[in-house]
Amino acid sequence: MYCNYEGGVHDPTIIDHQGDFYLFSTDTNQPLTAGIPIRKSKDLVNWKFIGTVFNGVPTEAKQWSNAQGLWAPEVIKYNNIFRLYYSASTFGSTVSMIGLAESNSPEGPWRDKGEVIKTSPQLSQHNAIDANVVLDKNQEMWIVYGSFFGGIYIAPLNKETGKLKDNSFGTLIARRPKSVDTAIEGAFILYNECFDYYYLFASFDSLNDTYNIRVGRSKNIKGPYVDLLGNKMVQDETPEKVGVKLLGSYQFQNENAIFAPGHNSILSFENTYYLVHHARLQPFSDQFILNIRKIYWLSNGWPVVSIKNITGFEERPITDSKKIVGNWNMIELNYGSEIVTSTNIEITQDELIQIRNNEYKYGSKIFKVFSLNGSHQEIILSGLNKNGLAFFGKKSFIERYSI
């Protein structure tokens, strides 16, 4: 199996600029940084560490939060200026601050612009970390943020300053109850013009071992966000069943396990969306790695993601249903947080229905199928079942291409 995981990456976000990709992530000890590491790549596969945004935690953020490093950066470009939103906090605390920095280049130098949002037990019941900045379909700018301790909020930004439009903390759009430790964070909103929906991605459960990525959608950027079954992302009942589950811990036969995929951002490049997130090779370890996966859209208006971390191989749509029939090694996610191991499942021609192009229906499941153009050919599929739980499959075959 071909893998090129970039190690030491946590809470990643990527921006492209003049033929290069720039990766920003949480401070870790891989390498040891305290001011947001920056990596650079030509192909999204091979990365080079090129420095940090700051030489340490900015003074205002340090004095407010006592942060030893910065978390979960968000980078956007507006009017030829790059804006970077950073989170300053300590684990288990709501004494937190989202700050802003600006630069003429992703490589810096970066100028700290100070506070965007501050929280503490005296000011609020939620937490100012994990910023995501999004433009709605009317080109109004919003900040999405929050975590455990109160949920996910959205607030309007002044596009010219990049800071809050008013003094409000905004509107609650997602929350989980105390029965699951209020475990939600790392939110990201994407607007899909084709379906005219806003999609709210968020990470559930513990980043150390049980992280998993869920998504809900809404016609209004302020919600309400619901999943495929109509469950609201703000609710206190059956919290484990809320949200379309895109990714969780899994292991295919004869391959290394992927644990706790989460805290995603989304890269849009050349008409393709990529889910950018971290995962772990072992639970409760510092073996966290970068994952970049293509996002595909089903005809029902919901996203699925490739089971393959990006490798440089092209994923070609499979429109010949005969190639799909046969034995598959399959991962089928469930509502739980434990790791899911693959099983062998046979797809027969009798129940297979081709919806369009490379999208198929098998029983109550819908999915898309692709091949990889490496020398060892492999068909892969990604789909959703009727409950909004993702499944993935692999099927090997050899096919010769003329040169």
273-282 confidence digits (pLDDT tens):
999 999 999 9
Taking CB atoms within 8 Å and a gap of at least 24, the contacts of 51-58 are 51/107, 51/108, 53/24, 53/84, 53/86, 53/101, 53/108, 53/110, 54/101, 54/110, 54/112, 57/88, 58/88, 58/99, 58/101, 58/112, 58/114
Spatial distance between the Cα atoms of 91 and 397, rounded to a whole number of angstroms: 47
Tell me the CB-side half-sphere exposure of residue 14, using CA atoms within 13 A.
28
Decide yes or no: CATH 3.40.50.300 for domain 314-395.
no
Model pLDDT for residues 41-71, shown as the tens digit of each residue: 999 999 999 999 999 999 999 999 999 999 9
Share of the chain above pLDDT 70, in %: 96
pLDDT value, residue 400? 44
Question: Which pLDDT value is given to residue 376?
Answer: 57
How high is the pLDDT of residue 3? Answer: 47
34: left (phi over 0), alpha (psi -120 to 50) or beta: alpha
- Residue 20 burial (CB count, 10 A): 13
What is the maximum span of the chain, computed from C-alpha positions, in angstroms? Answer: 68
* Chain segment 167-217, per-residue pLDDT in tens: 899 999 999 999 999 999 999 999 999 999 999 999 999 999 999 999 999
State how far the alpha carbon of 140 is from the alpha carbons of 158, 162, 168, 349, in Å: 9, 12, 16, 48
pTM of this structure:
0.96
Residues whose CB falls within 8 Å of the CB of residue 63, separated by 6 or more in sequence, listed in order: none
Element (H, E) at 385: none
402: which 2 tokens?
Answer: 């003329």
Q: Which of 185, 227, 315, 359 is catalytic?
A: 185
Mean pLDDT of 224-238: 94
Instruction: Return the exposure string of 196-234: e unless at least 16 CB atoms fall within 10 Å of the residue's CB, then b.
Output: ebbbbbbbbbbbebbbbbbbbbbeebbbebbbbeebbbb
Catalytic residue status for 185: yes
pLDDT at 401: 40
Given this model, what pLDDT does residue 402 score? 37
pLDDT digits (tens, 9 = 90+) for 367-394: 999 998 754 578 999 999 999 999 999 9
Average of per-residue pLDDT across 137-147: 98
Q: What's the pLDDT tens digit per position in 75-134?
A: 999 999 999 999 999 999 999 999 999 999 999 999 999 999 999 999 999 999 999 999
Closest of 206, 200, 212 to residue 172, by C-alpha: 200
Domain residue ranges in the chain:
11-304, 314-395
46 or 403, which is more confident: 46
Sign of the torsion angle spanned by Cα atoms 219, 222, 223, 225: positive
CB atoms under 10 Å from CB of 373, counted, come to 14
Average pLDDT over residues 1-23: 86
Average pLDDT score over residue span 337-362: 96
What is the average pLDDT score of the chain? Answer: 94
- Non-local (6+) Cβ contacts of 40 within 8 A are 20, 21, 22, 23, 47, 48, 50, 107
Residue 116's identity, in one-letter code, is V
Which of 6, 11, 27, 130 is catalytic? The answer is 11
At residue 243, φ and ψ (nearest 5 deg) are 90, 135
List C-alpha distances in Å: 156 to 131, 170, 175, 369, 396: 13, 7, 19, 39, 49
**Tokens matching residue 271:** 């008409």
What is residue 311's predicted lDDT score, i.e. its pLDDT? 79
What pLDDT does residue 315 have? 86
What is the distance between the alpha carbons of residues 117 and 100, in angstroms, rounded to a whole number? 10
DSSP conformational letter for 28:
B
Determine the Cα–Cα distance for residues 341 and 333; give it in Å rounded to an integer.
9
Is 11 tagged catalytic? yes
Whether residue 300 is predicted with pLDDT greater than 80 in this model: the reply is yes
Instruction: Choose the CATH number for 11-304 among 3.40.50.620, 3.50.50.60, 2.115.10.20, 3.30.70.270.
Output: 2.115.10.20
- pLDDT at position 41: 97
Distances (CA, A) of 303 to 37, 204, 315: 30, 17, 17
Per the document, the length of the chain is 403
